[in-house]
Protein backbone atom coordinates (compact mmCIF):
# COMPACT_ATOMS: atom_id res chain seq x y z
CA UNK A 1 0.00 0.00 0.00
CA UNK A 2 1.55 3.29 -1.11
CA UNK A 3 0.70 6.17 1.22
CA UNK A 4 -0.11 9.73 0.19
CA UNK A 5 2.12 12.39 1.74
CA UNK A 6 0.37 15.27 3.43
CA UNK A 7 3.10 17.91 3.26
CA UNK A 8 1.38 19.95 5.97
CA UNK A 9 2.28 17.17 8.42
CA UNK A 10 5.91 18.27 8.03
CA UNK A 11 8.03 21.29 8.88
CA UNK A 12 11.62 22.53 8.56
CA UNK A 13 11.97 21.62 4.89
CA UNK A 14 15.50 21.82 3.51
CA UNK A 15 17.68 20.66 0.64
CA UNK A 16 20.04 17.76 1.31
CA UNK A 17 21.69 17.48 -2.08
CA UNK A 18 21.46 16.64 -5.74
CA UNK A 19 23.03 13.73 -7.58
CA UNK A 20 22.88 12.57 -11.14
CA UNK A 21 19.60 10.76 -10.51
CA UNK A 22 17.74 12.56 -7.70
CA UNK A 23 16.95 15.71 -5.77
CA UNK A 24 16.91 15.00 -2.02
CA UNK A 25 14.56 17.06 0.17
CA UNK A 26 14.46 16.70 3.95
CA UNK A 27 11.58 17.45 6.33
CA UNK A 28 10.67 16.76 9.97
CA UNK A 29 7.39 15.08 10.88
CA UNK A 30 5.44 17.36 13.23
CA UNK A 31 4.02 14.46 15.24
CA UNK A 32 6.90 12.00 15.53
CA UNK A 33 9.76 14.48 15.32
CA UNK A 34 11.51 12.08 12.92
CA UNK A 35 13.37 13.70 10.05
CA UNK A 36 12.97 12.00 6.68
CA UNK A 37 14.05 12.64 3.12
CA UNK A 38 12.17 12.35 -0.16
CA UNK A 39 14.25 11.29 -3.14
CA UNK A 40 12.64 12.89 -6.18
CA UNK A 41 13.90 11.37 -9.42
CA UNK A 42 15.34 13.61 -12.14
CA UNK A 43 14.40 13.45 -15.80
CA UNK A 44 17.53 12.21 -17.56
CA UNK A 45 17.41 14.83 -20.34
CA UNK A 46 15.96 17.97 -18.76
CA UNK A 47 17.48 17.53 -15.30
CA UNK A 48 14.14 18.59 -13.81
CA UNK A 49 11.99 16.43 -11.56
CA UNK A 50 10.52 13.53 -13.48
CA UNK A 51 6.73 13.24 -13.49
CA UNK A 52 6.98 9.49 -14.18
CA UNK A 53 9.82 8.23 -11.97
CA UNK A 54 10.65 4.54 -11.87
CA UNK A 55 10.74 4.27 -8.09
CA UNK A 56 9.32 0.74 -8.16
CA UNK A 57 12.35 -0.38 -10.16
CA UNK A 58 14.80 1.20 -7.71
CA UNK A 59 12.90 -0.37 -4.82
CA UNK A 60 12.99 -3.83 -6.42
CA UNK A 61 16.68 -3.35 -7.25
CA UNK A 62 17.40 -2.71 -3.58
CA UNK A 63 15.35 -5.68 -2.36
CA UNK A 64 16.47 -8.24 -4.95
CA UNK A 65 20.12 -7.37 -5.49
CA UNK A 66 21.54 -5.00 -2.88
CA UNK A 67 19.97 -6.41 0.29
CA UNK A 68 21.29 -9.98 -0.17
CA UNK A 69 24.87 -8.66 -0.35
CA UNK A 70 24.90 -5.82 2.20
CA UNK A 71 23.83 -6.26 5.86
CA UNK A 72 20.72 -4.39 7.02
CA UNK A 73 22.78 -2.29 9.44
CA UNK A 74 24.35 -0.48 6.48
CA UNK A 75 21.18 0.06 4.46
CA UNK A 76 18.32 2.52 4.64
CA UNK A 77 15.11 0.80 3.65
CA UNK A 78 13.08 3.13 1.42
CA UNK A 79 9.35 3.10 1.01
CA UNK A 80 7.37 4.42 -1.91
CA UNK A 81 5.03 7.35 -1.33
CA UNK A 82 3.06 9.63 -3.60
CA UNK A 83 2.95 13.42 -3.31
CA UNK A 84 0.35 15.67 -5.02
CA UNK A 85 2.01 17.16 -8.08
CA UNK A 86 1.09 20.73 -7.11
CA UNK A 87 2.86 20.21 -3.79
CA UNK A 88 5.94 18.82 -5.53
CA UNK A 89 6.05 22.01 -7.63
CA UNK A 90 6.46 24.05 -4.44
CA UNK A 91 8.85 21.60 -2.73
CA UNK A 92 10.98 21.72 -5.87
CA UNK A 93 11.77 25.39 -5.18
CA UNK A 94 13.92 24.40 -2.22
CA UNK A 95 17.05 23.36 -4.19
CA UNK A 96 17.28 26.91 -5.56
CA UNK A 97 17.52 28.46 -2.08
CA UNK A 98 20.80 29.38 -0.46
CA UNK A 99 22.66 26.66 1.41
CA UNK A 100 21.22 25.48 4.74
CA UNK A 101 17.94 27.36 4.27
CA UNK A 102 15.10 25.84 6.29
CA UNK A 103 11.46 26.49 5.49
CA UNK A 104 9.47 26.18 8.69
CA UNK A 105 6.04 25.60 7.11
CA UNK A 106 5.02 24.35 3.67
CA UNK A 107 2.66 27.32 3.14
CA UNK A 108 5.68 29.65 3.06
CA UNK A 109 6.68 28.08 -0.26
CA UNK A 110 3.37 28.95 -1.87
CA UNK A 111 3.44 32.73 -1.36
CA UNK A 112 5.69 35.71 -1.83
CA UNK A 113 8.31 36.78 -4.34
CA UNK A 114 11.02 34.92 -2.46
CA UNK A 115 9.52 31.61 -3.62
CA UNK A 116 8.44 32.41 -7.15
CA UNK A 117 7.33 29.58 -9.44
CA UNK A 118 10.18 30.12 -11.90
CA UNK A 119 12.70 28.75 -9.40
CA UNK A 120 11.03 25.35 -9.18
CA UNK A 121 12.71 22.22 -10.57
CA UNK A 122 9.20 21.15 -11.59
CA UNK A 123 7.82 24.01 -13.74
CA UNK A 124 4.14 24.94 -13.70
CA UNK A 125 3.70 24.16 -17.39
CA UNK A 126 5.07 20.63 -16.79
CA UNK A 127 2.56 20.20 -13.95
CA UNK A 128 -0.28 21.42 -16.15
CA UNK A 129 0.61 19.03 -18.97
CA UNK A 130 0.91 16.15 -16.50
CA UNK A 131 -2.50 16.89 -14.97
CA UNK A 132 -4.03 17.01 -18.46
CA UNK A 133 -2.61 13.52 -18.98
CA UNK A 134 -4.21 12.33 -15.75
CA UNK A 135 -1.09 12.48 -13.58
CA UNK A 136 -2.06 13.96 -10.22
CA UNK A 137 0.69 12.53 -8.02
CA UNK A 138 4.43 11.99 -8.24
CA UNK A 139 6.03 8.93 -6.71
CA UNK A 140 9.03 9.40 -4.42
CA UNK A 141 11.19 7.23 -2.22
CA UNK A 142 10.93 8.18 1.45
CA UNK A 143 13.55 7.14 4.01
CA UNK A 144 15.09 8.34 7.28
CA UNK A 145 17.40 11.33 6.97
CA UNK A 146 20.93 9.92 7.26
CA UNK A 147 22.30 13.18 8.70
CA UNK A 148 20.53 12.25 11.94
CA UNK A 149 21.65 9.58 14.38
CA UNK A 150 18.95 7.46 16.03
CA UNK A 151 18.36 8.55 19.62
CA UNK A 152 19.41 5.38 21.45
CA UNK A 153 21.50 6.65 24.33
CA UNK A 154 20.36 9.06 26.99
CA UNK A 155 23.84 10.45 27.61
CA UNK A 156 24.70 11.45 24.05
CA UNK A 157 25.79 15.08 23.96
CA UNK A 158 27.24 17.72 21.68
CA UNK A 159 26.38 18.26 18.02
CA UNK A 160 25.63 15.52 15.52
CA UNK A 161 28.50 15.38 13.03
CA UNK A 162 27.73 13.76 9.69
CA UNK A 163 30.31 12.98 7.04
CA UNK A 164 29.09 12.20 3.53
CA UNK A 165 31.83 10.30 1.73
CA UNK A 166 32.11 8.81 -1.76
CA UNK A 167 34.66 5.99 -1.29
CA UNK A 168 34.79 5.07 -5.04
CA UNK A 169 36.38 1.88 -6.44
CA UNK A 170 38.56 0.15 -3.86
CA UNK A 171 40.75 -2.06 -6.06
CA UNK A 172 43.23 -1.53 -8.86
CA UNK A 173 41.84 -2.79 -12.15
CA UNK A 174 44.03 -3.46 -15.17
CA UNK A 175 42.57 -2.66 -18.59
CA UNK A 176 43.53 -4.27 -21.90
CA UNK A 177 45.94 -2.11 -23.92
CA UNK A 178 46.37 0.45 -21.11
CA UNK A 179 49.33 0.67 -18.76
CA UNK A 180 49.33 3.59 -16.35
CA UNK A 181 50.03 3.45 -12.60
CA UNK A 182 46.75 5.16 -11.70
CA UNK A 183 43.49 3.73 -10.36
CA UNK A 184 40.19 4.42 -12.11
CA UNK A 185 39.23 7.22 -9.75
CA UNK A 186 42.52 9.09 -10.10
CA UNK A 187 42.39 8.87 -13.91
CA UNK A 188 38.88 10.36 -13.89
CA UNK A 189 39.84 13.03 -11.36
CA UNK A 190 42.87 14.06 -13.44
CA UNK A 191 40.51 14.47 -16.41
CA UNK A 192 38.18 16.63 -14.30
CA UNK A 193 41.08 18.73 -13.06
CA UNK A 194 42.49 19.35 -16.53
CA UNK A 195 39.02 20.14 -17.91
CA UNK A 196 38.93 23.01 -15.38
CA UNK A 197 36.32 21.43 -13.13
CA UNK A 198 38.79 21.93 -10.26
CA UNK A 199 41.69 24.30 -9.69
CA UNK A 200 43.98 21.47 -8.60
CA UNK A 201 44.16 17.70 -8.28
CA UNK A 202 43.52 16.30 -4.81
CA UNK A 203 45.65 13.66 -3.03
CA UNK A 204 42.79 11.28 -2.22
CA UNK A 205 43.16 7.75 -3.59
CA UNK A 206 40.58 5.02 -2.88
CA UNK A 207 43.36 2.41 -2.73
CA UNK A 208 44.54 4.15 0.45
CA UNK A 209 41.03 4.26 1.89
CA UNK A 210 40.37 0.55 1.34
CA UNK A 211 43.89 -0.53 2.34
CA UNK A 212 43.11 -1.39 5.97
CA UNK A 213 46.33 0.39 6.91
CA UNK A 214 45.58 3.07 9.48
CA UNK A 215 48.17 5.54 8.22
CA UNK A 216 47.00 5.28 4.61
CA UNK A 217 43.33 5.47 5.54
CA UNK A 218 43.94 8.53 7.68
CA UNK A 219 45.89 10.13 4.82
CA UNK A 220 42.95 9.49 2.48
CA UNK A 221 40.40 11.06 4.82
CA UNK A 222 42.69 13.98 5.69
CA UNK A 223 43.23 14.72 1.99
CA UNK A 224 39.46 14.91 1.45
CA UNK A 225 38.96 17.19 4.43
CA UNK A 226 41.69 19.44 3.03
CA UNK A 227 40.29 19.33 -0.52
CA UNK A 228 36.83 17.71 -0.69
CA UNK A 229 36.11 17.97 -4.44
CA UNK A 230 32.76 16.14 -4.78
CA UNK A 231 33.84 13.23 -2.56
CA UNK A 232 33.15 14.66 0.89
CA UNK A 233 30.76 16.92 2.76
CA UNK A 234 30.51 17.54 6.49
CA UNK A 235 27.22 18.44 8.19
CA UNK A 236 26.66 19.80 11.68
CA UNK A 237 23.17 19.05 13.03
CA UNK A 238 22.03 18.63 9.42
CA UNK A 239 23.56 21.84 8.05
CA UNK A 240 26.36 21.67 5.50
CA UNK A 241 29.45 23.36 6.93
CA UNK A 242 32.29 21.96 4.81
CA UNK A 243 32.28 21.02 1.13
CA UNK A 244 33.99 21.84 -2.16
CA UNK A 245 31.83 24.96 -2.29
CA UNK A 246 32.90 26.19 1.16
CA UNK A 247 36.19 24.74 2.43
CA UNK A 248 37.02 25.54 6.06
CA UNK A 249 40.45 25.43 7.64
CA UNK A 250 41.16 22.64 10.14
CA UNK A 251 41.28 25.17 12.99
CA UNK A 252 37.86 26.55 12.10
CA UNK A 253 36.42 23.05 11.66
CA UNK A 254 37.71 22.06 15.08
CA UNK A 255 36.09 25.08 16.74
CA UNK A 256 32.74 24.40 15.06
CA UNK A 257 32.66 20.62 15.50
CA UNK A 258 34.06 20.50 19.04
CA UNK A 259 32.90 23.66 20.83
CA UNK A 260 33.88 22.10 24.19
CA UNK A 261 37.48 21.77 22.90
CA UNK A 262 37.63 18.10 23.88
CA UNK A 263 38.25 16.95 20.31
CA UNK A 264 39.70 18.13 17.01
CA UNK A 265 39.76 17.31 13.32
CA UNK A 266 42.46 14.69 13.91
CA UNK A 267 40.29 12.78 16.40
CA UNK A 268 37.35 12.99 13.97
CA UNK A 269 39.56 11.60 11.20
CA UNK A 270 40.62 8.73 13.46
CA UNK A 271 36.99 8.03 14.32
CA UNK A 272 36.03 7.92 10.64
CA UNK A 273 38.84 5.45 9.90
CA UNK A 274 37.80 3.19 12.77
CA UNK A 275 34.15 3.17 11.73
CA UNK A 276 34.97 2.46 8.08
CA UNK A 277 37.34 -0.37 9.05
CA UNK A 278 35.04 -1.84 11.71
CA UNK A 279 37.55 -1.24 14.53
CA UNK A 280 35.95 -0.15 17.81
CA UNK A 281 39.10 0.81 19.76
CA UNK A 282 42.20 2.47 18.32
CA UNK A 283 44.27 0.35 20.71
CA UNK A 284 43.19 -2.75 18.80
CA UNK A 285 45.05 -4.28 15.88
CA UNK A 286 43.98 -2.08 12.98
CA UNK A 287 42.76 -3.79 9.82
CA UNK A 288 39.80 -3.86 7.47
CA UNK A 289 37.55 -6.33 9.30
CA UNK A 290 35.22 -8.74 7.52
CA UNK A 291 32.26 -6.96 9.16
CA UNK A 292 33.27 -3.49 7.97
CA UNK A 293 31.25 -1.47 5.50
CA UNK A 294 34.26 -1.08 3.21
CA UNK A 295 34.81 -4.85 3.05
CA UNK A 296 31.19 -5.43 2.01
CA UNK A 297 31.44 -2.67 -0.59
CA UNK A 298 34.69 -4.08 -1.93
CA UNK A 299 33.29 -7.60 -2.25
CA UNK A 300 30.31 -6.27 -4.21
CA UNK A 301 32.55 -4.14 -6.45
CA UNK A 302 34.63 -7.20 -7.30
CA UNK A 303 31.61 -8.75 -9.00
CA UNK A 304 32.69 -6.65 -11.98
CA UNK A 305 34.40 -9.26 -14.17
CA UNK A 306 35.63 -7.02 -17.00
CA UNK A 307 36.23 -3.35 -16.15
CA UNK A 308 35.36 -0.12 -17.92
CA UNK A 309 37.30 -0.54 -21.17
CA UNK A 310 36.21 -4.12 -21.87
CA UNK A 311 32.63 -3.25 -20.89
CA UNK A 312 32.54 -0.40 -23.40
CA UNK A 313 33.91 -2.63 -26.15
CA UNK A 314 31.37 -5.35 -25.39
CA UNK A 315 28.53 -2.83 -25.40
CA UNK A 316 29.59 -1.29 -28.72
CA UNK A 317 29.70 -4.75 -30.31
CA UNK A 318 26.08 -5.54 -29.35
CA UNK A 319 23.34 -5.17 -31.90
CA UNK A 320 20.66 -2.52 -31.45
CA UNK A 321 18.16 -4.93 -29.89
CA UNK A 322 20.68 -6.11 -27.29
CA UNK A 323 21.65 -2.54 -26.44
CA UNK A 324 18.01 -1.57 -25.94
CA UNK A 325 17.63 -4.51 -23.58
CA UNK A 326 20.36 -3.09 -21.36
CA UNK A 327 18.70 0.33 -21.41
CA UNK A 328 15.45 -1.19 -20.10
CA UNK A 329 15.63 -0.86 -16.32
CA UNK A 330 12.48 -2.93 -15.81
CA UNK A 331 14.59 -6.05 -16.41
CA UNK A 332 16.17 -5.41 -13.00
CA UNK A 333 12.89 -6.18 -11.27
CA UNK A 334 13.15 -9.79 -12.48
CA UNK A 335 16.78 -10.31 -11.53
CA UNK A 336 18.10 -12.16 -8.50
CA UNK A 337 21.52 -11.96 -6.92
CA UNK A 338 22.29 -15.48 -8.18
CA UNK A 339 22.32 -14.16 -11.74
CA UNK A 340 25.00 -11.64 -10.81
CA UNK A 341 27.36 -14.06 -9.12
CA UNK A 342 27.02 -16.72 -11.81
CA UNK A 343 29.91 -17.69 -14.08
CA UNK A 344 28.00 -16.94 -17.29
CA UNK A 345 30.27 -15.26 -19.86
CA UNK A 346 27.78 -14.12 -22.50
CA UNK A 347 28.10 -10.36 -23.22
CA UNK A 348 24.75 -9.39 -21.67
CA UNK A 349 25.51 -11.20 -18.40
CA UNK A 350 29.00 -9.72 -18.17
CA UNK A 351 27.65 -6.22 -18.76
CA UNK A 352 24.86 -6.64 -16.25
CA UNK A 353 27.41 -7.62 -13.61
CA UNK A 354 29.54 -4.63 -14.62
CA UNK A 355 26.56 -2.25 -14.20
CA UNK A 356 25.64 -3.77 -10.85
CA UNK A 357 29.19 -3.40 -9.51
CA UNK A 358 29.27 0.16 -10.88
CA UNK A 359 26.44 1.07 -8.51
CA UNK A 360 28.59 0.03 -5.55
CA UNK A 361 31.58 1.91 -6.97
CA UNK A 362 29.64 5.17 -7.14
CA UNK A 363 27.58 5.05 -3.94
CA UNK A 364 27.96 7.36 -0.95
CA UNK A 365 28.39 6.67 2.75
CA UNK A 366 26.57 8.73 5.37
CA UNK A 367 28.44 8.50 8.66
CA UNK A 368 26.91 10.25 11.68
CA UNK A 369 28.60 10.58 15.09
CA UNK A 370 27.63 11.97 18.47
CA UNK A 371 29.66 11.95 21.66
CA UNK A 372 28.74 9.65 24.53
CA UNK A 373 29.73 9.94 28.18
CA UNK A 374 32.27 7.40 29.52
CA UNK A 375 29.81 6.35 32.23
CA UNK A 376 27.39 5.06 29.59
CA UNK A 377 30.10 2.85 28.11
CA UNK A 378 30.72 1.07 31.41
CA UNK A 379 27.21 -0.39 31.31
CA UNK A 380 28.24 -2.64 28.39
CA UNK A 381 24.75 -2.15 26.99
CA UNK A 382 25.79 0.22 24.26
CA UNK A 383 26.36 -0.91 20.69
CA UNK A 384 27.83 1.01 17.75
CA UNK A 385 30.20 3.03 19.91
CA UNK A 386 33.90 3.58 19.24
CA UNK A 387 36.70 4.74 21.49
CA UNK A 388 39.21 7.25 20.13
CA UNK A 389 42.47 7.98 21.95
CA UNK A 390 43.85 5.99 24.88
CA UNK A 391 44.69 9.08 26.90
CA UNK A 392 41.69 11.28 27.66
CA UNK A 393 39.54 9.10 25.36
CA UNK A 394 36.53 10.22 23.34
CA UNK A 395 33.54 7.94 22.80
CA UNK A 396 31.27 8.30 19.79
CA UNK A 397 27.94 6.65 19.09
CA UNK A 398 27.68 6.28 15.34
CA UNK A 399 25.49 5.28 12.45
CA UNK A 400 26.79 4.46 8.96
CA UNK A 401 24.58 3.96 5.93
CA UNK A 402 25.15 3.34 2.23
CA UNK A 403 23.10 5.66 0.01
CA UNK A 404 22.84 6.64 -3.67
CA UNK A 405 22.37 3.04 -4.79
CA UNK A 406 20.77 3.88 -8.12
CA UNK A 407 21.00 1.40 -11.02
CA UNK A 408 23.58 2.28 -13.65
CA UNK A 409 22.85 2.26 -17.38
CA UNK A 410 24.78 2.18 -20.69
CA UNK A 411 24.63 6.00 -20.65
CA UNK A 412 26.81 5.98 -17.52
CA UNK A 413 29.22 3.59 -19.24
CA UNK A 414 29.57 5.67 -22.40
CA UNK A 415 30.12 8.91 -20.46
CA UNK A 416 32.65 7.31 -18.09
CA UNK A 417 34.54 5.70 -20.98
CA UNK A 418 34.97 9.00 -22.80
CA UNK A 419 36.21 10.76 -19.67
CA UNK A 420 38.49 7.87 -18.76
CA UNK A 421 40.13 7.79 -22.19
CA UNK A 422 40.60 11.56 -22.08
CA UNK A 423 42.31 11.11 -18.71
CA UNK A 424 44.56 8.36 -20.09
CA UNK A 425 45.65 10.64 -22.96
CA UNK A 426 46.44 13.43 -20.49
CA UNK A 427 48.57 11.05 -18.40
CA UNK A 428 50.36 9.63 -21.44
CA UNK A 429 51.23 13.16 -22.60
CA UNK A 430 52.51 14.04 -19.13
CA UNK A 431 53.49 10.88 -17.16
CA UNK A 432 54.57 12.84 -14.06
CA UNK A 433 51.36 14.88 -13.86
CA UNK A 434 50.56 13.41 -10.44
CA UNK A 435 52.06 10.89 -8.04
CA UNK A 436 51.05 7.35 -9.04
CA UNK A 437 48.65 5.15 -7.09
CA UNK A 438 50.89 2.10 -7.49
CA UNK A 439 54.54 1.49 -8.23
CA UNK A 440 54.99 -1.27 -10.77
CA UNK A 441 58.57 -1.97 -9.83
CA UNK A 442 57.76 -2.69 -6.17
CA UNK A 443 54.27 -4.18 -6.32
CA UNK A 444 55.36 -7.68 -5.40
CA UNK A 445 57.51 -6.53 -2.50
CA UNK A 446 55.41 -3.73 -1.02
CA UNK A 447 52.55 -4.06 1.41
CA UNK A 448 50.34 -2.17 -1.01
CA UNK A 449 47.13 -4.24 -1.21
CA UNK A 450 45.81 -4.29 -4.75
CA UNK A 451 42.51 -5.88 -3.79
CA UNK A 452 41.18 -8.09 -6.53
CA UNK A 453 43.67 -6.92 -9.16
CA UNK A 454 42.06 -8.07 -12.39
Judged on CB neighbours under 10 Å (0-12, 13-18, 19+), 226 is: middle
Query: Quick one: average pLDDT of 408-430?
Result: 95
Bridge partners, residue 394, by sequence:
388
pLDDT of residue 165: 97
Tell whether 72 and 189 lie within a shared domain. Answer: no
- Tell me: pLDDT of 454 over 50: no
- Tell me: pLDDT of 54 over 60: yes
Q: Which one of 144, 176, 203 terminates a domain?
A: 144
As a whole number of angstroms, the distance between CA 7 and CA 13 comes to 10
Tell whether 96 and 129 lie within a shared domain. Answer: yes
Instruction: Encode pLDDT of 263-291 as tens digits.
Output: 999 999 999 999 999 998 866 689 999 99
pLDDT of residue 341: 76
pLDDT: which is higher, 423 or 1: 423
pLDDT of residue 381: 56
Asked if residues 186 and 426 have their Cβ atoms less than 8 Å apart, the reply is no
pLDDT of residue 20: 83
CATH number at residue 134: 3.30.200
Tell whether 128 and 22 lie within a shared domain. Answer: yes
Average pLDDT score over the chain: 90
Task: Give residues with Cβ within 8 angstroms of 227, minimum separation 6.
Answer: 200, 202, 203, 204, 244, 247
Over its C-alpha atoms, the chain yields an Rg (Å, rounded) of 23
Tell whether 183 and 126 lie within a shared domain. Answer: no
Q: Contacts from 320-324 at CB under 8 Å and sequence distance 24+?
A: 322/347, 322/348, 323/410
CA atoms within 13 A on the CB side of 92: 28
Tell whether 386 and 300 lie within a shared domain. Answer: yes
Asked if residues 157 and 370 have their Cβ atoms less than 8 Å apart, the reply is yes
Tell whether 130 and 175 lie within a shared domain. Answer: no
pLDDT of residue 111: 86
Count how many domains the chain has.
2
**Is this model's pTM higher than 0.95 or not?**
no
Domain that holds residue 47: 3-144
Collapsing DSSP to helix, strand or coil, 334 comes out as helix
Tell whether 307 and 294 lie within a shared domain. Answer: yes
pLDDT of residue 335: 82
Tell whether 336 and 375 lie within a shared domain. Answer: yes
Instruction: Encode pLDDT of 125-148 as tens digits.
Output: 999 999 999 999 999 999 999 998
Tell whether 40 and 101 lie within a shared domain. Answer: yes
As a whole number of angstroms, the distance between CA 211 and CA 376 comes to 32
Tell whether 119 and 206 lie within a shared domain. Answer: no
Instruction: Encode pLDDT of 15-43 as tens digits.
Output: 998 888 899 999 999 999 999 999 999 99
Amino acid sequence: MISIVNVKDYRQFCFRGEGGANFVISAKNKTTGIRIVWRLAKHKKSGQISIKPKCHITNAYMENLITPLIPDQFLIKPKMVIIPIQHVHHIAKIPALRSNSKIEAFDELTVGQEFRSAMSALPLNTCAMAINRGISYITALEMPDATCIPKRISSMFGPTITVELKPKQGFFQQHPGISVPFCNNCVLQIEKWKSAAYEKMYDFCPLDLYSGDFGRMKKAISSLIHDPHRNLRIFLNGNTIHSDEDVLSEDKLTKILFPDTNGDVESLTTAICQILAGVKDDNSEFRLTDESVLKFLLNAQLLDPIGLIAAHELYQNLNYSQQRKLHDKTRLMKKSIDSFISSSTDPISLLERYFFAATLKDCSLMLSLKQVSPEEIKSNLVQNVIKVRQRDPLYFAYSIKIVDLDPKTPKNLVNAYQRFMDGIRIIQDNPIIHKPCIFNNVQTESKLPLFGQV
